[in-house]
Structure 1
Amino acid sequence: MVKRILHSTYFKVSLFVISFAMVFISCDNKNDDVGDEELVEEFEDVEESEEAEDKTYKLPQIDLSHWKVTLPIGNPTEVKPPEILSYATNETLKPFFYNDSINGALVFYAYPHSTTANTSYSRTELRELMKPDEGENANWTFGEGGYMKGTLAMDEISKDSKGKYHRSIIMQIHGRLTNAQRDLIGQKDNNAPPMLKIYWVDGKVRVKTKILKDLNASDVDVLKTDSWGDDVGYTFSEYVGFEKFTLEVKVANGKMEVILNGKHSRVYDDIHIQKWHVFENYFKAGNYLSSIDSGAFAKVKYYDLVVKH
């Protein structure tokens, strides 16, 4: 009799435990189902967000309507407005002058090949055209002044046989003779020296300018390229490496100033600048690779570029 009671009690307790466990499992499964649904919804949201990001792109802040570009191919090849405005679909330009739409930059790619007159180096470089309808005949003097600002970065550049990076000119102020000056000195073209060259050299920004070899040179002799030499140069202390940086070039009130990242400045206001006022000038920006080594190349990225007069 006692055994029968114990068996009956044991059976009832076991049945209660099993029932409670089933209820608990059922509730837990329901919670899992809810969690799974939430995870699925979150995953779908992430997918939609990634797809939205994939559809977005950035463009460089550069108005090309007053620039022409020279390429390291052809004789060399030049593309002017309005054709340059369609650079993204221009098959000639695409290999050398194209958008990095992820970072919002315009890429300038160059390697040793075709060159312009008076140099042995190749370039993918913009040349300012103040009045595109007049071609290269409209320029500015130091008395009139000018301002250029760009945000840029060295993206990639090759190394020489000693393991040192090649260098590239990333900004310039180039001189130009008027037709009357050209004829006066009997020169076949309008070329004059570049008053300013700004280089990327081993991760730093280096500035080179022109100095008059003979300060007593005549008004005629001062127009000749061989009357001008190079200064010793100046290298900013800040290391920019392959990161984005900003350059400003200001010409006003009889002086020229180069500013790096809004805080480092180099001013030129000596007799050589005063003597330079005889020339017309134009701005240049891009990638002027200073190497003829086999396999040399460079890619410079410009995020924005503005010129004012």
Structure 2
Amino acid sequence: MKKWSSIILFIMLFVTYASISYAQQPKATSDITENTIVTGNDSIQVKLAADKNILSRSAFISMQLKKDSFGYKEVITLNSRMALKRFTLEYQFSHGGKISLAKKADKTDGSLLFFNNNNELITAANPLILTDANGNKIPTAVNINNNTVTYTYNDYDKKIVYPITGEIQLFSDAHDFYTWFSYGKWYSRSDGITLGLMPVGNWIGPDATMGEISWSWGTVKDRFSNNSNWYNGDGMYEQYYCHVLGSPAISGEEWNLEPWRPKVGIIETMKQSCNPL
């Protein structure tokens, strides 16, 4: 009889605990939180979505949108191993638009490019990098379906310590040339016309993201592409790309972009030290 009493008591305690635990879970909705990104005349609403059928796991993930000098940061927090290993950010454009993965020599680093309905770049985002409480990086895969971006990771390594956090830097307010360069100017040399650029900050080098490259290049185009010296924009971009990745973290050296140099492809441009012939 004592044995049965203990079993009944255990069942009652379990049911009570389960009821309390379930009551503390969010309602059956896929929308955990939402925020709005403002960029020029456009706005983009972003929502963190979780599986409606896994309530007890969606409670362990959160997203905050924070304003900063470059634009916005999406801060992701995964609080427990119970957190979903796949989560989705849904983006809704105020006037229509699309998202694509930025490419680096035909490969993506996970950076995102946001275009409005006129196919104009309105913001760019660095890749999401997840790290655990000890600063260890956690491999993350990204996939785009229409305007939803899905991130997948795993924590099979038992050495991973929660919480896991990650940030996505969105460049919406950094469309100022002087955020990226101290100066830019056209001048003539013996071999032809050149556009000289002096980069600032520690964003350059082999770890530069496609989000940073695309957005900073946009500021160069906005400032100089209406000049009569500007032509062969694709070839100039290849030189630009080469200079960004080939520079030390703090350069102090002027970059020279020559429109008269041929467009030969990024790989060949890099082989020729950014000066293709």
Do they superpose with TM above 0.5? no
Q: Select the structure that is richer in helix.
A: 1
Greater RCO, 1 or 2 (C-alpha within 8 Å, sep 6+): 1
Q: Work out which of the two has the higher radius of gyration on C-alpha atoms and give 1 or 2.
A: 1
Please, what TM-score do these two structures have when normalized by structure 1? Answer: 0.27
Please, what TM-score do these two structures have when normalized by structure 2? Answer: 0.29
